[in-house]
Each structure stands twice: as structure tokens, then as C-alpha cells.
Chain A
Amino acid sequence: MLKIVIVRRELGLSKRIALSLTSIALCLAVSALIIYAITGSTNVVFAAFTSFVDLNTLRYLGTLTVIALGLCIAYRAKLWNLGADGQLVIGAILATWFALYTPLCSSSMGIVLGLVVAALGGMAWSFIAIALRIWIGVNEALATLLLNYVAYYLANHLVEGPWRGVAVHGYPETDLIPRACWIPCVRGYSFSPYIVAMALLLTVLIHVIVKRTRFGLAVKALGTGEALVELSGISAKKVALLAFLMSGALAGLAGGIELFEVQRKLILGTKFSAGLGFTAIIVAWLAQLEPLLVPLVSYFVGALLLMMVGIQIAGAGVGDAVAQVIVGVLLVSTLVSNFFVNYRMKIVKVKGVKL
């Protein structure tokens, strides 16, 4: 009798890379097929793929990189921060408050200060979840998921009520933030070189923190087992707290960036975040939690998102939905390819054993 057996294995780097590329190619093929199925035109498929050489992709690179870098730290510690979306919204809420309701915005350091406020907001929001985890033992994946919804509804409450703008004709959104708070974009494009530069700098910084510091090592150890950290004389709670707060702060910072660079006003919570916090989770894992790979993957996923905006303009009307399916399929194919990296299937002959 033949039987399939699954065996663990270690693959070399070149084979790992080959498998990753295969899963990416598979995903692209699937997305091309989906676009073709919806629009029925090969021209649209080709037009869609130009997003990979469109500089507007850099707008997604900035935001996704910043969030995913933070998530890399949390996930290395095996802390499931699924709340980047909510932390982003809270960051944006605080940045909106800063821009609209304090006079500090017009000062020379206005934008920087606003981004710091946003980061602190995201950090505070993530603190709730990690505090419940450390001191009570509530699963942090669950807590962050629930807190996302609280954050969305908080934003909705503000834009539908107290913060609704006077010049928006009843739409649920605030007025535009003052021009002094706008991060200038390159003429004709929707991205700012400052944000891209900041994202790349942060990449290097997080890489150094993760690979070259005692804290980075402690985070890695925490991911392996709590006892390991405690045995080396470091408080596991402190490491967990710090790692989680860093991921929250970076997500909050991304909220500030989205507000100052792209949206320039607060809108309904889920619309504002547009699922970027969840997309960043996928970015972090596609990058194998390696900070240096994060900008590359962000660019790739950003191009996919931009591609779908293009399709929407082309008239399919369900661009966002298609984008979700494709990014989801991308993650599924990565998960499956990870299986083939770590395990081998072999067929063995089993002699007729009767149990």
C-alpha cells in the first residue's frame, strides 16, 4: 500500500528564494486571470501591470513599510499585534486633533510634532492590549482585533458629531487640515520624498535594533520561549511591553503620515485605514520578518493595490474587492510555499500491516 508521508527538512537559501519567487509569480498569474475574467480585455491587464513602474506606488511604500517594520518586531517576539489598523486610526485621530484644534501646527516643527503625537496615540492604543496580555493573560490577538473596531467607531463618532466640518456639506468628515500641516507631494504624484526617505531610514534603524542590539536578541528569544529570556536575567514582561509598544507607535505614526500626506482630513474609520494595517501584516510575513526586505515587499504589495485603483477607474467598480482577493491569495500561496520550504512530501510503501 502506498502512503504519503510528510517529513521536516532544511532548504538552502537559493532554493528558498526560488520558492518565494514561484509563489509570487503564481500570485501574479492569478491576479492577471482575475482581472481578465472581470474586464474581459487583455489591454486592461497590461495597463494594470504598469503600476509596477508607477512612482505613485511609493505612496503605499511609505505607509506600509512604517507599519510592517513595527509588526516585524512584535511578531519576532511571537506577539500577535493584529491591531495595526486601529492603532493607525487612533494616530490619525490625534494628528487631526493636533492639526485642527491646537495652534502648534503652524510652528516650524509643526509636522514633526504632529507625527510624534500620532505615534504616541498608536502606542497608547497598543498599550491596552499588551497590558491585558502581560498582567491578566488575555490573548493579545483577540484584544487588538476588538480594539480595532473601537477605534473605527471612535473615528466615526468624531466625524459624524463633534468634529464634523463646517465646509463639508453634511458629509461625515472633518474640514481640511491647515496647509501648514500638509506634507508636500512631488508635483503630479501623490507621494512625498520625505516620507519615502523616512521609511528607508526607519528600515535601517529597525534592522540595527533587531540584529545588533541586546533588545533585538531578547525579542528573538522571547519568540522562542519566555523562560529563555527570564533565564538570561532580562524581564520578559519588559521586552514584550517594549516590542509591542514599538509596533503600536509605528502604526500610529503611519496614521499621522496618511493624514498629513494623503487624506488631509479625518474620514470614517474603516475608510481612512482602508485595511492598510491588515495589509501590513501580510507585508511583514512576506518579508519573512526581515526589516531590510520590508520596503521591497511594500513596493510589490503597493503596486498590487495601485493596480486595483487603476482597474476601478477602468470601470469594473469592484477594484478594492479584487485587490483584497489578490493580496489574500498572495498570502495563501506564501503560506503553502512555506510548507514546501520546511517539509518534504514523500511516498512510501507500507507493507500490509493490520492494526
Chain B
Amino acid sequence: MIERFLNPLALALTLAVLGDVVVERSGVLNLAIDGLFVLCVAVTFSVFVATSSPIMALIAVLACGAVLAVVMSMLINVFLANHVLAGLAMNMVCYGIATIVGTRFLGRALPTSLYMDTVTIGVVVALSTALTWLLLYRTSFGVALRACGYNPRNAEALGIDVGRTRLVAMLLGYELIALGAFVYLASYVGTWSAGLGTGWGFLALSLAIASLWHPVLAPILATSFAALYVSMVEIQTHPIRIGSVVIKMSPAMVSAIPFVAALVLVSILYATPLRRIVSPPRALGEPYFREERTL
């Protein structure tokens, strides 16, 4: 049973969701996550196939995440672009580059698949969760980060450099998401086709929101979804019988389930007092302009 929750997909999703939590807690609406995920998947595949070395692929994917974090941070923090539009634009660019990059190696197989056992996955999930929680709730940087997401003006008044804090948050978060994409390709899918990974970024985003941006709730939801998803593939092949009712679903309907469920979960959480317990980043998606200073 436990291996169902701790499969490679669960690890990939957990890392991506945690990364998104870090980014969005700093007040940056992270719509570029889908493009980032798709591009990182393509980069992992291409470099892995080209060099046959998982280490090189890992370095490349981390570099890719860092570059995108800097570019997005430029758009959002320096050019004060609208978060939604900047995210969508980055998505389009990333989808395109991903296809161009991956198509060169289309049809080639990964030299080795990165196998991870349940224990390793469990340890990594627990460790990344604990570290993210510690960072956000037990360090002064974490407090500053959350302050930027809650009220950037007040954060500035307390002497926090909002732009710099958001940049560091994006660097950290994007690296986590890039790692998630690496695991997704190297340990879960193992092959590549154009557009692979599309939608998983948005799924991670919706899981982060459904968990109200809390780093402990997030992996619980992520692993549950991964378990659901993996089991759904089985339900397809072996229809469940409850009494005389046979549940049989088409592959397309199964694929839609996470999205419907995320929407339902978000709605439930917003409609109940749970919303007040975990204070969400109120300034999410607000471009922050520091105004001219007379110093």
C-alpha cells in the first residue's frame, strides 16, 4: 500500500508542489511553472541521451531552472510586468523551446532509467518537506519571504528588500521544480515525446493552492494524487466491481480526474473556515513598485 503513495511520480509532484509553495509564498503568482516543468523535462531528456550521464542531466536541469528564475524575476521585479501575463508569455516560449530541444533526440531511449526504491523516495519526500517547512517557518529569511507575500509594503518598511527576497525565493523554488521535472522524466516516464509534461506544472500549481501554500499539507496532497493517478491506470485495465456495478473509465476520463479533483478541493477549502487557519499569501500576483526614495 505504502509504495503506492511513494512512487517516483509522487516524488516528482511533491518537489514541484514544494517549489511552487516557496515561490508563491513570496507573492509571485507562478503561472510559468508549466512551461518551466515542460522545458526541464525536455532538457533532462536531451542531456541524458546526449551524454548518457544522469549527473550532467541534473546539472543542466538545475542551470535551466536558475536561468528561468532570473529571467522571470527580471520581468516581474524589475520590469514590474503583470504576473499572469509574464507567466503565460514564459510558458509559450518554454513550450516552444522544449519541443525544439527535445525533437533533436526524438525516438531515442534513455541509456539507463533511474530506479528509486520506496525507502529512498520516502526519505527524500520527508527531507524536502521538513527543509521547506524549516526554511519558511523557522528562519528569519522564511519570515521575510512570507512577509513579502503577505504585504510587501510593510515588509519593505521592516527593512526587507522585496525584490531580492523574491528573487531568492524564485531561485530556490524553481530549482525544486526543476528537480521534480528531472525525477518525472528520469524515474517515471523514461521516454520523451513533444509536449511531454504539459499540464503537470499547472497540476502542481493547483495542488499548492489546494494545500493553501502550506509545506506540510502540500506533500500529503501531492502523494495522494500520485497514488490516485497510479491506481487509476489499474482501474482502467481491471474495472472495479462494487456489487453489480462495474466502474469502467476511458483513459481520457482518468486523465481529467486530477484536474476536477483539484478544483473541487480548492472550492471546499475556500468555502470552509480552513482558509483562515493557514493564512494564504494575500499579495499574491501583485506587482510591487517600490516608489522613488529620497535618500
Contacts and interface: CB of A to CB of B under 8 A. Distances in A.
Given A318-B99, A332-B75, A5 B293 contact: yes
B251 A160 contact: yes
A145 B293 CA distance: 39
B262 interface: yes
A270 B255 CA distance: 14
Interface stretch (B8-16, B211-219, B263-271): B263-271
Contacts of B89: 282, 328-329, 331-332, 335
A335 B86 contact: yes
Given A146-B202, A339-B79, A154 B95 contact: no
> Chain B's interface: helix, strand, loop or mixed, by majority?
helix
Contacts of A326: 96
A281 B80 CA distance: 19
A331 B31 CA distance: 15
Nearest to A326: B96
Contact of A335 (B81, B103, B195): B81
A136 B270 contact: yes
Given A5-B292, A139-B209, A331 B92 contact: yes
A136 B267 contact: yes
A241 to B, nearest CB: 17
A137 B292 CA distance: 34
B82 A153 contact: no
A327 interface: yes
Contacts of A8: 289, 292
Nearest to B80: A339
Nearest to B75: A335
B71 to A, nearest CB: 9
Given A82-B88, A321-B96, A325-B96, A157 B252 contact: yes
Given A157-B253, A335-B79, A328 B267 contact: no
A7 B293 CA distance: 10
Contacts of A350: 295
A320 B252 contact: no
Give the contact-size bracket for chain A: 35 or more
Nearest to B268: A136
A321 B292 contact: no
A338 interface: yes
Interface in A99-145: 132, 136-139, 141-143, 145
B267 A138 contact: yes
Contacts of B251: 160
A7 B262 contact: no
Given A282-B89, A321-B96, A150 B259 contact: yes
A64 to B, nearest CB: 15
B132 interface: no
Interface string B79-102: 111101110111111111111100
B256 interface: yes
Contact of B100 (A6, A146, A322, A332): A322
B99 A320 contact: yes
A149 B259 contact: yes
Contacts of B96: 320-326, 328
B206 A142 contact: yes
Given A150-B260, A318-B103, A142 B209 contact: yes
Interface in A149-183: 149-150, 153-154, 156-157, 160-161
Contacts of B270: 136-138
B85 A154 contact: no
A313 interface: no
Residue from the set B91, B92, B251 with the largest chain A CB neighbour count within 10 Å: B92
Contact of A328 (B84, B93, B252): B93
A340 to B, nearest CB: 9
A278 interface: yes
B82 A329 contact: no
A339 B290 CA distance: 14
B218 to A, nearest CB: 15
A343 B80 contact: yes
Interface in A295-345: 317-318, 320-329, 331-332, 335-336, 338-339, 342-343
A241 B295 CA distance: 47
A268 to B, nearest CB: 9
A161 B93 contact: no
A282 B267 CA distance: 28
Contact of B85 (A7, A138, A150, A331): A331
Contact of A80 (B80, B84, B91): B84
Given A145-B202, A322-B100, A335-B75, A328 B209 contact: no
A256 B250 CA distance: 26
A137 B267 CA distance: 8
B122 interface: no
Contacts of B271: 136
A328 B90 contact: yes
Contacts of A52: none
B258 to A, nearest CB: 8
B99 A335 contact: no
A221 B80 CA distance: 23
Given A278-B92, A325-B92, A350-B295, 4 more contacts: A145-B31, A153-B252, A318-B103, A332-B90
A-B residue pairs, 9 tightest by C-beta: A328-B92, A325-B96, A321-B99, A324-B96, A328-B93, A153-B256, A157-B252, A156-B252, A331-B89
